[in-house]
Structure 1
Amino acid sequence: MNTTPEDKYTLLAKSPEQRSSFLLLTLSEQKAIWTLVDDDGAMILTTDEEDCIPVWPDEAFVKDWINDEWSHCRAHCISQEDWQQRWLPGLEEDGIQIAMFPVPGEEGLIIAPWEMAEKLG
């Protein structure tokens, strides 16, 4: 996926639900999802109630988060197969939720790994 600056701006302005729908559609089309990692593994966002792994549809959106406290991180692409077979069961087991396509200053829609697995079929 090659996201133009205009496309990116339009997507970032959408509601959390619209961004989540776009993320799921892109995952099914591109067969990949993106997150942030460092040398110790995936980065975790902490909301008021839970720990979440943030995921995005494209590397361009991940790069917006590589600054300040996460400046040591890098974008990481996960294949759809790996996401569904390894990551979702592992996140469920560890009690970690999924932050669907968050934007800076807003955590986005939070769903449980089993919910995402259901949506993906």
Structure 2
Amino acid sequence: MNLREFEAVISQPAVIRYEYFIKKTADYEEVWGLYNVGWATAQDDMGNTLIPFFPNAKFAETFAKKEWEGFRAKSIDLVHFLEKWLPGMKSDGIKPSIFPTNTDSVVLEVDTLREALEAELEKY
């Protein structure tokens, strides 16, 4: 990905970045998170735990600042993500935060993310 594409994607509204995340995650069959002795987390305004996910390492590392300073991008195989991560997050009451930037992200239910990823994978 060149710099122009990178800047164009991060300047998009959260819902467009979410759509980009779904397509790229299905294309490359991996999800990216931030890791440093444990996975990066955040909290929403209601105190719910969120885990940020990105479509590739470059996006993840770009937003590894502030509370995530020192975290590095780490990939998660998409099958493992669908079969292990998402059920575990659901049972723990953790929500995915998709493609957070300095301004916003899409926070959604685990089942909604699973359905979107599975629907995109059916196209392949």
TM-score computed with the length of structure 1 as normaliser: 0.91
Unaligned runs of 5+ in 2: 119-124
The CA distance in 2 between the partners of 1:69 and 1:17, in whole Å, is 24
Unaligned runs of 5+ in 1: none
1:92 counterpart = 2:90: yes
Counterpart amino acid of residue 63 in structure 1: E
- Structure 1 partner of 2:115: 118
State how many pairs are aligned: 117
Moved >3 Å (runs of 4+): none
Measured against aligned partners, the alpha-carbon deviations of 1:47-75 in whole angstroms (never above 9, x if no partner) come to 10221110000111111122333222111
Query: Per the alignment, in what secondary structure is the counterpart of residue 81 of structure 2?
Result: helix
Shift of 1:119: 1.2
Q: Percent identity?
A: 21
How does 1:56-75 map onto structure 2 within 5 Å? 56-75=54-73
How does 1:8-27 map onto structure 2 within 5 Å? 8-27=6-25
Measured against aligned partners, the alpha-carbon deviations of 1:5-58 in whole angstroms (never above 9, x if no partner) come to 11110001111111000000011110011001111x211111102211100001
How does 1:75-90 map onto structure 2 within 5 Å? 75-90=73-88
Q: CA RMSD in A?
A: 1.1
The CA distance in 2 between the partners of 1:110 and 1:82, in whole Å, is 21
